Amino acid sequence: MSVADEMDYRFGTANRAQRALQVLVASRGGAWFFSRVLPPLDTWVQRVSHHRHTVPGLLAGLPVVDLTTTGRKSGLPRTTHLIAIPHHDTLALLGTNFGQPSTPAWVLNLEADPVATLSYRGTSVQVLARPATEPEQAEVLARSEKLYIGYRKYQTRITGRRLRIFVLEQARS
C-alpha cells in the first residue's frame, strides 16, 4: 500500500473563499504573516480537534501532514506542519518556507537523517525521504502549482538558495 493511500491523504476542491485565502497567503505580506502565525495556531487547532482539523484545511481547503524529523543539532524530535503533494503512489514535500529567504529547518534535518514519521489525521507512517530526481522535481512542481497557487509564487521569491524537493518512500522495517 502506498504512503498516500495508507494515510488516506487527498486534496479536495477548494471553494471560492478558500481559493481567495490561498491567494492572500501566497502574497509576500501574507506569506510573511502566516509563516509566523500559522505553525503555533495550527498546533493548537490540531490539539483541540484531536488531529481531525488544521487551519489550512478549514480555511483554505489544504490538507496538512505533520512531519517529524530528528533535529540535526539537538537529536530531538522536531514536528512541522506541511502540505504534501501526491506524486504517483507516494507523497512529495517542497522546502519553500512560504518563499522566505532561509531554508526550512526540516529540510536540513532530512538531509542529515532521511528517516522521519509522517502523520495525517491520526495515522502515522515511517518514511524515508530522498531528494527528487530532476524529472520528479518537474512533475512535483507542475502538480503542486495546480493544487495550491502559493507554490508558484513562493518559487519566484526564493533567491540565494536551492529549492529542495523530497519524495517520501515507506521505510522498511
Using CA atoms, how far residue 44 sits from 38, 50, 67, 108, in Å, is 10, 10, 16, 25
- Candidates 46, 77, 41; CA nearest to 63 is 46
Residue with cell 530526481: 133
State how far the Cα of 93 lies from the Cα of 49, in Å rounded to an integer. Answer: 24
Residue position matching grid coordinates 504573516: 33
Distances (CA, A) of 94 to 1, 47, 131, 159, 173: 23, 25, 10, 15, 26
CA pair distance 158, 60, nearest whole angstrom: 23
Cell representation of residue 85: 503533494
Q: The domain containing residue 142 runs over which residues? A: 3-170
In which element (H, E) is residue 82 found? strand 77-82
Q: How confident is the model at residue 104 (pLDDT cuts 50, 70, 90)?
A: very high
Residue 82, strand partner residues? 65
The Cα 157–Cα 96 span in angstroms is 9
Sign of the torsion formed by the C-alpha atoms of 9, 15, 17 and 23: positive
| Residues of the chain by 3-state class (helix, strand, coil), percent to 5 | 45, 25, 30
State the cell numbers at 103.
531554508
Instruction: Work out how many domains the chain is built from and give that number.
Output: 1
* Average of per-residue pLDDT across 47-67: 91
CATH number at residue 63: 2.30.110.10
Does position 91 have pLDDT exceeding 70, yes or no?
Answer: yes
| Residue 8 vs residue 132, higher pLDDT | 132
How many contiguous H segments (helices) and E segments (strands) does the chain have? 7, 7
- pLDDT at residue 10, rounded to an integer: 87
pLDDT digits (tens, 9 = 90+) for 116-170: 999 999 899 999 999 999 999 999 999 998 889 888 889 889 888 989 999 999 9
